[in-house]
Amino acid sequence: MLLETLDSHFPTATGHTEDTEIGLRLRQSYVAAERTLAGAGIAVRTDGVDAYVAGRERWEPLVGRVAPVLGYTMAEIDRRTSNMADLLAGPK
């Protein structure tokens, strides 16, 4: 709700960057998070990927517009995205 308020009432970044592989990227993010949690001994739901992707598809564009105005990049907010290949490869 806070992000929606900021986006509606303050000047935020405009434009839309087209991410043609957003679904794949978000699924990879979910798998990486599952591995991290499982590696720490935390039980994970294996059936949550669709809900995760749907949620991220709703809020990520909003964050992408508000973040630059607050002085952040998406790489600073979503740390997994920048090193996704390493996370998917697993521990070395």
Tell me the C-alpha to C-alpha distance, in Å, between residue 82 and each of 6, 20, 76, 79, 86: 26, 17, 9, 6, 9
Question: Is 85 a residue whose pLDDT tops 80?
Answer: no
Q: What six digits make up the tokens of 1?
A: 């709700």
Predicted TM-score of the model (pTM): 0.63
**48 and 30 in contact (C-beta within 8 Å)?**
yes
Question: Is 17 a residue whose pLDDT tops 70?
Answer: no
